[in-house]
Structure 1
């Protein structure tokens, strides 16, 4: 059985998810004490999918989140770098489109999607800032992004209790609920190592997203971050490109 570590080598993380794919959703429901379904409902509401839109669901796993979006009349594309997860998703939801792909190198063109979302997957990416830049690239100008991820409960007592649950209680439950209990040791490590809500907001703004904000779910155990790609994103990119070209030109260098 595969177990990833905080180096987050893509092939190792993907192999770990291949191992847990068959019982992944069942394990999540048990380990989250049923909250995973509530987090999914909140994410769908935040994305606010409209009929006719095209939605990209990154780290789609077995398609549980993707199928929730599809019920609203949108076209959903689920992408995941775990072939085992994608195979399980295709088996369960043959009506959906699944693609094997890396969040750091999304196999899509620029400005393709009205909304891009990722739930509990960004912290598993080796370079999350690069993944955010890719999400920005494939989002249409005026489009939206929603990131739902484990986070830092702001109340110290709750934060310590939550970490105690992850470290001491969850491994015992995982032995019964999961097909790869060792993988859930990485889950605790990745959650403990993940930055707080404000840091993720900073990363999103650095990628180019505007109107960035977050909402804590389950007292901050999970945080849902939202943002927009500016309508004038193409103009901003063109201006930035011209500035870089001018600064790199021989005339500019001579002037300096």
Structure 2
């Protein structure tokens, strides 16, 4: 899909006030369960600096902040940020793009993104940016819609996306076009193995994923190598050249 950042931002501007309510409706309440799993995967500690990318209204940022972490919530939509600041005045909300993060290298202990990587024009560039702003040893957690591995589940889910979800969105939303985009973006998104490979290519190690709701959603994790680990990896790659010299 061609995802123009301005068009994506405008679409979310138009749905900001009812976004979380509609997500709960269209997911059958599973969005709350997914956030719980996400929070457990992040495992925030008091005082840690955590960047929540595509944070929207702050629904994913608030539990992390409540745990005592210093959360920065970033989003490309001004409408989402405005609503987030109204709901969570204690959280720092920043306007910015996942592909060009407005932060220095080695700044955060963790970078998270929930159901937002799919909306980025260049998701692999965003993953590289996550790697850049993480401290050595820092962790990335990506929660995103995925492809159910069991064929009967996948076919049933595709049927829901094509028939049920658009009808619900048309009845409940003033901007059903946004949810037509949702269906298309999920259908064109790669499977769990492909996203895991993108995360590895961005420089992360210890990459793994866990399926949620039969694979409708997948929770991906990775680590930025610590300085010691990076040095050891470089030494291993250099060793054959030294032997051959």
Instruction: Pick the TM interval, shorter chain.
Output: over 0.9
Mapped to 1, the partners of 2:36 and 2:229 lie a distance apart of 32
Where 1:104 maps in the other structure, the secondary structure is coil
8 Å Cα contact 1:22-1:179 kept in structure 2: no
Mapped to 1, the partners of 2:50 and 2:165 lie a distance apart of 33
Match of 1:47 in 2: 42
Question: Any unmatched runs of 5+ in structure 1?
Answer: 1-5, 244-256
Where 2:47 maps in the other structure, the secondary structure is coil
8 Å Cα contact 1:23-1:177 kept in structure 2: no
Match of 1:190 in 2: 185
Q: CA deviation at 1:193?
A: 0.3
1:161 equivalent to 2:156? Answer yes
Mapped to 2, the partners of 1:216 and 1:71 lie a distance apart of 26
8 Å Cα contact 1:141-1:230 kept in structure 2: yes
Question: Any unmatched runs of 5+ in structure 2?
Answer: 239-245
Mapped to 2, the partners of 1:97 and 1:234 lie a distance apart of 32
Out of 65, 71, 74, the position equivalent to 2:69 is: 74
Deviations 1:39-95 (A, max 9, x none): 001001001101110110000000011001111011100000001100110111111
Q: CA deviation at 1:32?
A: 0.4
Mapped to 1, the partners of 2:61 and 2:14 lie a distance apart of 21
Mapped to 2, the partners of 1:165 and 1:233 lie a distance apart of 48
Out of 11, 14, 19, the position equivalent to 1:16 is: 11
How has the CA–CA distance of structure 1 residues 183 and 54 changed in structure 2, closer, same or farther, with 3 Å as cutoff?
same
RMSD: 1.8
